[in-house]
Amino acid sequence: TVIDGGSLTSDDRIFDIANLGMLSITGVTLALGQSSNTAGLRNGGAVRIQNGGQLDLDTSAVVGNATGRAGNGGAIYYSSTAHGSITNSVITVNTADNDTGGVYLQATSTSVPGGKVTVTNTIIVNNTDGAGNVSDVYAGTNRTFTSGGYNRLGNAATGFTHNVNGDYIKPSGTT
């Protein structure tokens, strides 16, 4: 099943999970979502998970999505207390106008625990930021990814270590 965001209203991401909302996606391709250029709506080209919300993505692909002007997380944007899991999936060829074309975890303060995002047996590569740099995963201050193992990433982020748990992180400067 393919959900083609190109057929949605202009400047509209595919899914917007409201505060405390929950969405499980299995066996679906999310393609061509585009978040708005309006301030406050720019993040998450395919999916934005708001505070306390949860996204569980399994055996799916997130491909060819983009943020609005100055947006973060071309594929998926987890706000500071959002949480979930990404398993057996591929996230590629997404673009963020500002930072991190792949999966972006918004920073949080030390007084508010950040939501946990576990990534397992997933490929997150060839996503770019607004400057055209490879930018696949990002964990803001006081946020971390949890590796369930066997991931392939185009860049390093807190929670992933090259050659630990079967994770592979592409070395800087290689093509």
Predicted local distance difference test score (pLDDT) of residue 37? 80
The CA-atom distances, in angstroms, between 101 and each of 19, 20, 124 are 23, 24, 10
How far apart (Å, rounded) are the C-alpha atoms in residues 32 and 9?
A: 12
How far apart (Å, rounded) are the C-alpha atoms in residues 43 and 66?
A: 9
Q: pTM (2 decimals)?
A: 0.94
7-11, 42-46, 163-167, range with the lowest pLDDT: 7-11
Predicted local distance difference test score (pLDDT) of residue 10? 64
Contact of 79 with 41, CB cutoff 8 Å: no
Q: Which residue has the higher pLDDT, 118 or 141?
A: 118
Q: Is the pLDDT of residue 38 over 90?
A: no
| Tokens representing residue 55 in the block | 């996204």
Per-residue pLDDT, averaged over 85-93, amounts to: 98
Q: Is the pLDDT of residue 9 over 90?
A: no
Per-residue pLDDT, averaged over 119-136, amounts to: 94
| Tokens representing residue 61 in the block | 């692909």
Q: Is the pLDDT of residue 89 over 80?
A: yes
Q: Is the pLDDT of residue 119 over 80?
A: yes
Contact of 72 with 43, CB cutoff 8 Å: yes
Predicted local distance difference test score (pLDDT) of residue 111? 86
Predicted local distance difference test score (pLDDT) of residue 102? 97
Q: Is the pLDDT of residue 32 over 80?
A: yes
Strands of the sheet containing 47-49, edge to edge, are 15-17, 47-49, 76-78, 103-105, 137-139
Torsion of CA 126, 87, 114, 64, to 10 degrees: 30
Contact of 101 with 136, CB cutoff 8 Å: yes
Q: How far is CA 165 from the centre of its chain?
A: 21
Per-residue pLDDT, averaged over 91-100, amounts to: 95
Predicted local distance difference test score (pLDDT) of residue 11? 66
